[in-house]
Structure 1
Amino acid sequence: MARALHCSGDLSSGRPVLLVPGTTLTPEVNFSWNYEKVFTAAHRPWCAVTLPNHAMSDVQTAGEYVVYAVRTMFAAAHRQVSVVGFSQGGMVPRWALKWWPDTQAMVDDLVGIDPSNHRTLDAEAVCGLGCAPSFWQQRTGSAFLRALNAGQETYAGISYTQIYTATLDEVVVPNLGPAASSALHTGPGRISNVVVQSICPLHVADHLTMGTLDPVGFALVMDALTHTGPATANRTSRSVCTQLTMPGWRCSRPS
């Protein structure tokens, strides 16, 4: 699994961030041109984990990769790590924390961007004629999601920030109201469920944009990483509503 984890910066120089990509994506495609560049420019140490088969294999196996990443980073940093994941990448760390409880003491923040915590109705259609394991497991009512969410959803000592859009999310649906798929509600962890439209009512963002260069999502990620506890909407300046993209990103051909 060592080759599945690549890092930048001195992990012991500050609280490192683990980036976890979404389904069908690699860290290179998901993060190399946005979050990785911004974190590197800010001298914030980070690692990114590559999940098997572009995160389309069994999510339980992907969870083992996240466990390895968290343990490795914690040992190198000698401090807790923060985890930022997109879509499945925001959900699968919860599986790791649930079934490998030693990792709970190793994580400070878990930030999910449009995480598929409870259901994705579009997987029903995708899986009609057969689909990849992780698509099947993210279906509404799947055995995997029932196991993930059985009992408490969060754990003491960890701050959970769930960031999602109420408009145009064509993947994690439905994501509206108190039953939003991305939202968390139970357990002793500190929870913040933030809809980007609660900050910018006219903001339009689809699923992929949220996980790559959305300015409101990015502002909330940084709020979570730079404050004690989860992100809060009231700390985010409404000036972000005038931005078209997150600052500091640069589109380039992957090396």
Structure 2
Amino acid sequence: MRLHLISVGLVYGAIPLARVLGQTSPVANINLLNTLSNAAEEHESKVLSNLVSDLQQARSIPTPSTPEEALSALQHSSGLLKAFSSVVDIAQGITAAGLVPPEILSFLNGYTDSKLNSLDNRHPAPKDAIYPKSKRDAPYSLSEGTLRSAIHIPKTFGYGRNGKTPVILIPGTAIPSGTTWYYTFSKLGNSTDADVVWVNLPRASLNDAQVNAEYVAYAINYISSVCSKPTAIISWSQGGLNTQWALKYWPSTRPALQDFIAMSPDFHGTVVEAVICPALSYIACTPSILQQAWTSQFIQTLRSSSGDSAYVPTTIIYSSFDEIVEPMSGPNASALLTDTRNVGVILAHLQSICPGQPAGGFYTHEGVLYNPLAWALAIDAITHPGPGSLTRLDLKQVCGMTMAPELDLTDLLGTEGLLLIAAAELGTYEPQAAREPCIVGYASNGGGA
């Protein structure tokens, strides 16, 4: 069961059908309301009921014409600033603020059928045996074919023969990978010597994070093998947890990864995980969200035995205005990792580095993906040994920007529109889980030194 995303925008913004997809039928609006109403009744969810009510009282708000206007609208959206908002509330606020115009709704609506998110990609076998690569590696629970077919490799990928650094993109929770990166880091190769691929995780990363990490571990060794050189990773949100778990329990991935760049990661989980389960009355949720609770067994297991310290050069970028992961400032910020292995770690808190400046302004959980400092540090890390370095950047120039120069207003709006997909995926996920998955044997036995 999926929500029809074009319908969300049509009802909220009173957008003429012909402006979106001439063939779209108004019946989709009825189906959407019925779907949300049924879900609200089934889960006794007040937030979904409120969303249905708001959809029935649609209103039109003009789309911002500049990035500055968009960020201002985002900041003043009552749904985003309301204490303990749900993802549905946030999506509601974004749409009501005019941040999801027709062309973006059109793209988002096709995410379920998009080849960008395919789990059936065909690639040659790796040059070396990597399943597993080392006796120290944890065993895989999925077949090698399943793991390999989740890797999306664009036709332009050079397999290391063009001198570019291969970069693997790892998505966050509730949004398919190809769609996640479409408006942001899939464009990284346009501005630097990077070749980008991404990993498509089943069910938009809402399943067991321990299994999600298997896809990441395999992708690191596969891409490194077929390119005959180390690779880099850019992760967002849960993608950081999945990568850190892979590095801990598949030690062979460490020499294969030259850089780990984590955007809005929750290495210590979040204290507001229940807010992300709007359809489930905070009683049940999806496996990976339950695992991202501040006190979850998954988080405690990951952080044990120095799992709270970096395994490879690591660049971490995060914002105080993260509406999904809290806390995200101060000494208890969830994004923090230590550097007991002396591999090199930079902790880039946007508001501390660019205080009172545009790049240190109101950037949310997803907003970090188009932040100019985040892009500058990511590019710096990929093109230099070790993590990104602030001393190599022109901070006066970077902090004075509103968004990465490689991107435009459409990319900002498209990234914000991703939360419509998150609301759809979370509101329709089945089967729900009342407790997080058990810790797998290799981790419960103390592996992953």
TM-score calculated relative to the size of structure 1:
0.91
Alignment partner, residue 229 of structure 1: 386
Structure 2 counterparts to residues 94-243 of structure 1, below 5 A? 94-126=244-276, 128-152=282-306, 153-154=308-309, 158-166=312-320, 168-188=321-341, 189-202=343-356, 203-204=360-361, 205-210=363-368, 212-237=369-394, 238-243=396-401
Q: Are the aligned partners of 1:192 and 1:231 in contact in 2 as well (CA < 8 Å)?
A: yes
Q: Are the aligned partners of 1:119 and 1:141 in contact in 2 as well (CA < 8 Å)?
A: yes
Distance 1:235 1:198 in 2: 17
User: Which of the pair is proportionally richer in strand?
Assistant: 1
Task: Tell me: CA distance 1:116–1:248, structure 2 relative to 1, closer, same or farther (3 Å).
Answer: same
Secondary structure of 2:366's partner? helix
Secondary structure of 1:62's partner? helix
Structure 2 residue 4 is matched with structure 1 residue 4: no
Alignment partner, residue 402 of structure 2: 244
2:167 counterpart letter in structure 1 = V
Task: Tell me: CA distance 1:194–1:41, structure 2 relative to 1, closer, same or farther (3 Å).
Answer: closer
* Alpha-carbon offset, residue 43 of structure 1: 5.0
* Alpha-carbon offset, residue 186 of structure 1: 4.4
User: Which of the pair is proportionally richer in helix?
Assistant: 2
Structure 2 counterparts to residues 18-97 of structure 1, below 5 A? 18-40=168-190, 42=192, 44-97=194-247
Secondary structure of 1:245's partner? coil
Distance 2:256 2:275 in 1: 38
Identify which range, 103-112 or 146-155, moves more after superposition.
Answer: 146-155
List per-residue Cα deviations over 1:183-229 (Å, max 9, x = no partner).
Answer: 1014303211111123211222111111x311121111112112211
* Alpha-carbon offset, residue 41 of structure 1: 5.3
Distance 2:345 2:397 in 1: 25
Secondary structure of 2:194's partner? coil
* Alpha-carbon offset, residue 240 of structure 1: 1.5
* Alpha-carbon offset, residue 100 of structure 1: 0.9
Distance 2:183 2:203 in 1: 21
* Alpha-carbon offset, residue 109 of structure 1: 0.7
Number of aligned residue pairs: 250
Q: Are the aligned partners of 1:200 and 1:241 in contact in 2 as well (CA < 8 Å)?
A: yes
List per-residue Cα deviations over 1:228-249 (Å, max 9, x = no partner).
Answer: 1111233322211222221223
Return 5+ residue gaps in structure 1 as ranges.
none
Distance 2:199 2:148 in 1: 9
List per-residue Cα deviations over 1:62-111 (Å, max 9, x = no partner).
Answer: 00000111111011111111111011112210100111111111111111
Secondary structure of 2:370's partner? coil
1:206 counterpart letter in structure 2 = T
Q: Are the aligned partners of 2:325 and 2:365 in contact in 1 as well (CA < 8 Å)?
A: yes
Distance 2:273 2:213 in 1: 20
TM-score calculated relative to the size of structure 2:
0.53
Distance 1:84 1:242 in 2: 24
Distance 1:23 1:113 in 2: 13
1:116 counterpart letter in structure 2 = D
Distance 1:25 1:120 in 2: 18
Task: Tell me: CA distance 1:79–1:222, structure 2 relative to 1, closer, same or farther (3 Å).
Answer: same
Distance 2:276 2:169 in 1: 26
1:234 counterpart letter in structure 2 = T
Q: If you compute each CA radius of gyration, which structure gives the higher value, 1 or 2?
A: 2
What is the percentage of aligned positions where both structures have the same residue?
Answer: 30
Secondary structure of 1:45's partner? strand
Distance 1:241 1:62 in 2: 35
Q: Are the aligned partners of 2:310 and 2:339 in contact in 1 as well (CA < 8 Å)?
A: no
